[in-house]
Amino acid sequence: MASLLITELPDDVAQVVREVARYLEVRTEDLVVADHTHEELREGAYSIAYEGQYDWPFHFTEEVFRKTVDVPRDLFLEAGTGWFLAVYPPKED
């Protein structure tokens, strides 16, 4: 269960995940992308956790719903248990 800083993401992380991670990194402090699977995320999905406020994933997904933030069309984001955001890149065939 290693945690990675956004700047240290492995090369095989999808570009769309990198873009969202960088977008969030600019807007939050102490952001960490984790390679572990909260809530049994499917292979290729990542969780983004913010050390601090617990409700930021819900605020972010609400802004996505309101279309005030620009998220790639084929990327699915889901607020977890109040402290992490699940990032599901498109499945590759």
Higher pLDDT, 33 or 13: 13
pLDDT class for 22, splitting at 50, 70, 90? confident
pTM above 0.75, yes or no: no
Domain boundaries, the chain: 3-88
pLDDT in tens, 29-80: 555 555 555 567 777 777 777 666 677 778 888 888 888 888 777 777 777 7
Is 38 within 8 Å of 81 (Cβ atoms)? yes
Question: What torsion, rounded to 10 degrees, do the Cα atoms 58, 64, 65, 67 define?
Answer: 150
d(CA 59, CA 57): 5
Q: Is 16 exposed, middle or buried (0-12, 13-18, 19+ CB in 10 A)?
A: middle
Nearest residue to 34 (alpha-carbon basis) of 64, 67, 10: 10
- Scan for tokens 């599901």, then name that residue: 88
